Structures are given as C-alpha cells and as structure tokens.
A and B are shown apart, each in its own frame.
Chain A
Amino acid sequence: MAELFIYGIVLGSIISLGAIGLTLVYGIIRFANFAHGDFLTAGAYIALFMVTGVLSWIGIPDSNFGSLSFGWRMAIAFPFSMLAVGCVAIVLDRVLYRKLRRKASGAVIFAMSSLGAAFIIRMIIFILWGADSLFYRPGILRPALELPLGIKIRPDQILILLLVVFLITLLHFFLQNTKMGKAMRATADNMELALISGIDTERIIIWTWGIGGALAAAGGILYGIDVQLHPHMGWNFLIPLFAATILGSIGNMYGALIGGLTIGVAQQVSTAFLLPTYKPAVAFIIMILILLIRPQGIFGGRS
C-alpha cells in the first residue's frame, strides 16, 4: 500500500503538470480545452521522434545517465519537445480559437473546436506512428531501489518527481515575480480590468498557451519514461486532468497541484481493489463526488 501511494505521487505529479496548464488556460482564456490530454501525447511523441530519429541521426551518443534509463538524447529532446508543443498550442490558438474569439462564439463552440483539435493531433500521431505501444528505450526496466517499508522505486521515478518539483517552482516564480506572470494573474482575475490597465491580453493568451502546452509536453514525456507511449495516453489523462482541475478550483495553480496528486494517489491505490484499466473511471467518480459536494473545488474561488 505504501508502495502504491508512492507510485500515486509519481502519477499524480504527472497529472499535476497537465492540470496546471489546463487550469491556467481555463482561468485566463475561459474555456475548457479538451485538447489538453492530447498535448501530453504530442509532447511524448515529439520527444520520441527526437530520441529515436533526429538525435540518433546526428550522432548524439546513446548511453544512459548513471542508473537512469535515458541519457543526453532525452536531455536535449525534453526541452525541445516542451518548446514544440508550446508552439503547437499557440498555432492552434492562432488558426482556430482566435478566429472564434473574433466572432464572439459561445464557450461551447470553443470547447467543440478544441475537441476537434484533440482528434486532429491524435489522428496525426496514429498516421505517423501507428496504434502500438512504444517505448523510449525498449528492454528491461532498470532495477529498482529498495527503500524502507518494502517500497521499490526506480531511479527514473525519483527523477520524475524532482523534475516536476523543479518545473512547478519555476512556474511559481514566473507567476509571482515577473511582469508577464503578474499580468497573467491579473487577466485571470478580471479580463476587462486587465485590458483597461493596458495589459495586452492577446500576448497573455499566447503566453498562457505556450506555458500550458510546454507543461503538458513535460507531463507526457515523463509518463512515457515511466510507463509507455500510446496514441490514446492523453485521452486517458483527460478525465483525471479535469478532475484535478475541478478539485483544486478552476484557475488555481496550487489547487491543480493538490488535485493532481490526490487524483494520482487515488488512481494508484484503487488498483489494489480494481483492475488497473478502471483508472479513468476512478477519476471520474471522484469528479462526480466533487461536483455533488463542492463544485467550486477545495480552494473556493469562482464557482
């Protein structure tokens, strides 16, 4: 059980990365981005393309870092993929959502459009890579480290946790201390007020998409390192992402972090009683319970 809890924290930290992006987009641009799960998938596959394609072709050595299951190739592919998915998110906004914004379409039309975008991303991945599960590095998983209480944890999983903590700390300082971060928080609070204070909301929107996409890409790659890659992986994350976002109150980054960890732990611990395939259903049940008991989420905020 203690082991499932630790694995839940690992899964939950990955969900948090996605949920933080989702909650920022939800809070600032005001729509439910149903393509967010597929940003995770896109990030994972772009990194795969780099690791097994471009970087091996230009001759980056294939050796691992210590007892981790990846090396320099991944170290280069990781930030590249974050950048690439950030750009994908911005391009989607320019091509689709900005047009809808200009026509003052309803919130549901945005959501529908993002759903279409989700499937466009997924179909492109299906076309390029097929429907099989893939791995960054085929073969046997690295031996686990033994911790007290009989917990076995792989070095990769420790690194995943450290990376997530690093990224979230980085985002925290960005939002609290930089001009752009403050402007983003102001826009999330009140868009009209931000506009008349001279904040360029179109620039805020671009930054929000970029950050949301980059964090989602990081989540997708880390999941790919921990488990595997599959074109449906992001879709299976969609319900946990929304559950985490709603649990932590929409628009609240720290809420999304807590929500993500909660959902991740609940999903992993549930595998002690249920088939692992039921993980999305567990997140769904939690979400329904939140909607019944406290629809505004644990941190209050906007309902």
Chain B
Amino acid sequence: MEIGGILAYMVSLAIMAGIYAIFCLGLNIQWGYTGLFNIGIAGFFCIGAYATAMITTPKPTGLYAHYVHQIFGLNLPFVMGLLGAALICGIVAFLIGIPTLRLGEDYLAISTIGIAETFRLIFNNEHWLANGPRGLMGLPQPFQGLVDPKHYNYIYLIIIVIIVVIVYLSIERAIRSPWGRVLRAIREDEVSAAMSGKDIFHFKMQSLVFGAMVMGIGGALYAHYTKAISPDVFTPLYGTFIIWVMLMAGGSGNNKGAVLGAYVIWFMWTGTTFMTNLLPYTLKARAPYIRFLLIMILLEIILIYRPRGLLGEEKKVSKLVD
C-alpha cells in the first residue's frame, strides 16, 4: 500500500475513533461521574442516527417513494440534524429515567438494554417508519462540494475533532462546576449527598439526559459519516460493549481517559483484523467472534486488575482547591 492509501486508512480510523470518543464522553458523564449504569448505549446510538437521517434527508417522492418508506423527511442542514438527534435522545433518556432512577442501579441497566433492543426491533420491523431492515441512505455530508469526494474524509475528520473538543470542553466545564461536584458526591455516597439537601433524582436525571444527548450527537455523526444506516448496525456489541471497554480501559471519571480509551481500543480492535487474516481459511468467517472474545477477555482483565483504567480519575475537585 502506498503512502496515500495508508494515510487515508489512518484518517478513517481516526474518524471512527473520534465518534467513539464522543460516546465515551457521554458515558463518562453517566457512569464515570454519576455512577449510572447505562448498558443500552446502542439504543441512543440508533435513535441519534435515525433522528438525523430523518431530519436531514427529504421525504422520498415519486417512483423512489415506492422503494423507500420514511415517515417524514425535513431536508434540513447537518447542524439541525445533530441538534435534533441530541434533543430526541434527551427526551428518550428522560422517559426511561422516570421509572428507573429512583430504584437501584440494576433497574436502569436492564431498562436501558430493553430500550436498545426495543428500538432496534421497531426500526427493523416497521417498514413505514424508516424503511425497515434496509435502512436509510443518502445522508448529506457538510461541505460536501468543497473537495474531491475521494479526499472528503479529511474534512470530516476536522469536523469530528472540532466536535470532540467542544463536547470535551463543555463536559469539563460542567464537571468542574458545583453541579459536577454534586454528581460525584452522588456517585460516592448517595445517602450523604441526599442528607446535604441535594435532590438525588433530579441530578441523576440531568446526568442521564446530558449523557444521552452527547450519545445522540455521536450517533448522528456516525450516520453522516457512513451516509447509510440500517438497524443491524446498532447491536449490543458494536453499539454498547466496545464503548464500555473503551471507557474502562481509558479510565472512567476522566475525560482525557475517555478519549484516549476510544483511540487505543479502536486501534487495537482494527489491529486484530490483521491478526485474524493469518487464521486458516475455515476459521476466517468466524474471525469477528474471535476478536470480540479477545476484547471481552480484555474487559474482564481490566475489571479485576486495573479498574481505574489507564489514566484513572483526577482527584482535583476545583481549580480553586489543591
């Protein structure tokens, strides 16, 4: 492979890792700072991606409408797609929070799994909604006409980097504020936080919704990157667990760790494709399973031997206090 090819490959890796970094940052708000156990990230991934697809593409007309069913299409710009995805994910998170956030953490966990599975089932089976298992395609990409489509990924990488930085800075700002300190107090000891007069339910809800909105943006960025989405993308493995492994590896409770974990694990994950290429032919078809098996074993090792991850949480509470 010549230099140009390698560079293009690295760019595509960096884009996907950047998208995963956004999911990790969203999960870090929920799990890293508040201790909310969301294992249905794939649900918010899916909702964010479908939301932006319906917002930014036009409703199919004429002959095309016979082949593609879509309940609505607003044909709005990219930015509106991102905002809409964040908004809808926020609403879904709010609704799931109502029955579960007053209960133990396991209830939120199993409910988020339920939400992820239910939305995948709905998008798969309701053809009128978003074209069923065939999914939607033809999503617009921002600044599409500026360069040769061959080199478009460079522009998208810049967009991803800018959004990762914005999300990172806004989470850092929020976490270092009094609000963020309450979240961490809840994570450490719910009862004493409640005794200090903090309304646990509302703070947890805000954290859940905020994190879900960030995940919605991640889902939208994914959809505009691949330009085509279908329900089978948002599986528990690609949509949820790899993100958990990234955050646990990078260090939950540390936003730098979240981004680092996303890049490290994504590069490792794609690196294992080269490894499985060496397998005998009969096993090659099952190579993805072997790769996931390795990733899951890695997760177990991290949980037992290094639960803090690579970076671990910074103990600094505020810039005013050492």
B286 touches A108 (CB 8 A): no
A108 touches B37 (CB 8 A): yes
What CA separation (Å) do A201 and B110 show in the bound complex? 27
B121 interface residue per 8 A CB criterion: yes
A119 touches B296 (CB 8 A): yes
Across the interface, B241 reaches (CB within 8 A) one of A32, A99, A115, namely: A115
B293 interface residue per 8 A CB criterion: yes
Across the interface, A99 reaches (CB within 8 A) one of B125, B299, B304, namely: B304
0 or 1 for each of A108-127: is its CB under 8 Å from B? (1 = yes) = 11011101110110011011
Which residues of A have CB within 8 Å of B121?
277-278, 280-281
Binds A, one of B100-108, B136-144, B207-215: B100-108
Which residues of A have CB within 8 Å of B297?
120
A281-B105 CB under 8 A given contacts A105-B307, A123-B290, A291-B99: no
B307 touches A291 (CB 8 A): no
Which residues of A have CB within 8 Å of B241?
115-116, 119
A123 touches B103 (CB 8 A): no
A123 touches B296 (CB 8 A): yes
A277 touches B35 (CB 8 A): no
Interface secondary structure of A, over-half rule: helix
B109 touches A295 (CB 8 A): no
A275 touches B303 (CB 8 A): no
Binds B, one of A45-53, A148-156, A208-216, A235-243: A235-243
| Nearest CB in chain B to that of A282: its residue | B118
Interface extent on B, as a size class? 35 or more
Which residues of B have CB within 8 Å of A298?
none
A291 touches B100 (CB 8 A): yes
A111 touches B113 (CB 8 A): no
B292 touches A278 (CB 8 A): no
0 or 1 for each of A189-209: is its CB under 8 Å from B? (1 = yes) = 000000000000000000000
Tell me how far the C-beta of B230 lies from the nearest C-beta in chain A, rounded to whole angstroms: 16
B117 interface residue per 8 A CB criterion: yes
A130 interface residue per 8 A CB criterion: yes
| Nearest CB in chain A to that of B103: its residue | A295
Which residues of B have CB within 8 Å of A130?
285-286
Across the interface, A100 reaches (CB within 8 A) one of B113, B122, B303, namely: B303
0 or 1 for each of A252-268: is its CB under 8 Å from B? (1 = yes) = 00000000000000000
What CA separation (Å) do A31 and B37 show in the bound complex? 13
A144 interface residue per 8 A CB criterion: no
Tell me how far the C-beta of B255 lies from the nearest C-beta in chain A, rounded to whole angstroms: 20
What CA separation (Å) do A292 and B118 show in the bound complex? 18
B118 touches A116 (CB 8 A): no
| Nearest CB in chain B to that of A283: its residue | B114
Interface extent on A, as a size class? 35 or more
B304 touches A123 (CB 8 A): no
Across the interface, A113 reaches (CB within 8 A) one of B111, B117, B124, B300, namely: B300
What CA separation (Å) do A111 and B105 show in the bound complex? 10
B236 interface residue per 8 A CB criterion: yes
| Nearest CB in chain B to that of A239: its residue | B114
A70 interface residue per 8 A CB criterion: no
A277 touches B124 (CB 8 A): yes
Query: Which residues from 281 to 322 on chain B have a C-beta closer than 8 Å to any C-beta of chain A?
Result: 283, 285-286, 289-290, 292-293, 296-297, 299-300, 303-304, 307
A96 touches B109 (CB 8 A): no
A242-B110 CB under 8 A given contacts A107-B105, A108-B105, A120-B297: yes
A288 interface residue per 8 A CB criterion: yes
Which residues of A have CB within 8 Å of B237?
119
B114 touches A287 (CB 8 A): yes
A116-B299 CB under 8 A given contacts A107-B106, A108-B35: yes
What CA separation (Å) do A246 and B117 show in the bound complex? 19
What CA separation (Å) do A137 and B173 show in the bound complex? 61
| Nearest CB in chain B to that of A128: its residue | B286
Across the interface, A235 reaches (CB within 8 A) one of B99, B102, B236, B289, namely: B236
Which residues of A have CB within 8 Å of B113?
238-239
B244 interface residue per 8 A CB criterion: yes
What CA separation (Å) do A107 and B303 show in the bound complex? 12
| Nearest CB in chain A to that of B303: its residue | A113
A284 interface residue per 8 A CB criterion: yes
What CA separation (Å) do A235 and B171 show in the bound complex? 34
> Which of B121, B283, B297 has the most A CB atoms < 10 Å from its CB?
B121
What CA separation (Å) do A288 and B236 show in the bound complex? 20
Which residues of B have CB within 8 Å of A124?
293
A123-B106 CB under 8 A given contacts A105-B307, A112-B303, A239-B117: no
B265 interface residue per 8 A CB criterion: no
Across the interface, A123 reaches (CB within 8 A) one of B39, B114, B236, B292, namely: B292
A96 touches B304 (CB 8 A): yes
What CA separation (Å) do A277 and B117 show in the bound complex? 11
Which residues of A have CB within 8 Å of B100?
291
Tell me how far the C-beta of A236 lies from the nearest C-beta in chain B, rounded to whole angstroms: 8
Tell me how far the C-beta of B179 lies from the nearest C-beta in chain A, rounded to whole angstroms: 22
What CA separation (Å) do A115 and B109 show in the bound complex? 11
Tell me how far the C-beta of A171 lies from the nearest C-beta in chain B, rounded to whole angstroms: 24
Which residues of B have CB within 8 Å of A120?
293, 296-297, 300
What CA separation (Å) do A238 and B241 show in the bound complex? 16
Across the interface, B110 reaches (CB within 8 A) one of A32, A99, A106, A127, namely: A32
0 or 1 for each of A72-92: is its CB under 8 Å from B? (1 = yes) = 000000000000000000000
5 contacts between A and B (CB under 8 A): A105-B303, A108-B105, A112-B244, A235-B236, A281-B118
Extra A-B contacts (10), CB below 8 Å, given A120-B300, A284-B114:
A108-B109, A109-B307, A111-B105, A119-B241, A239-B117, A281-B117, A284-B118, A287-B111, A288-B114, A291-B100
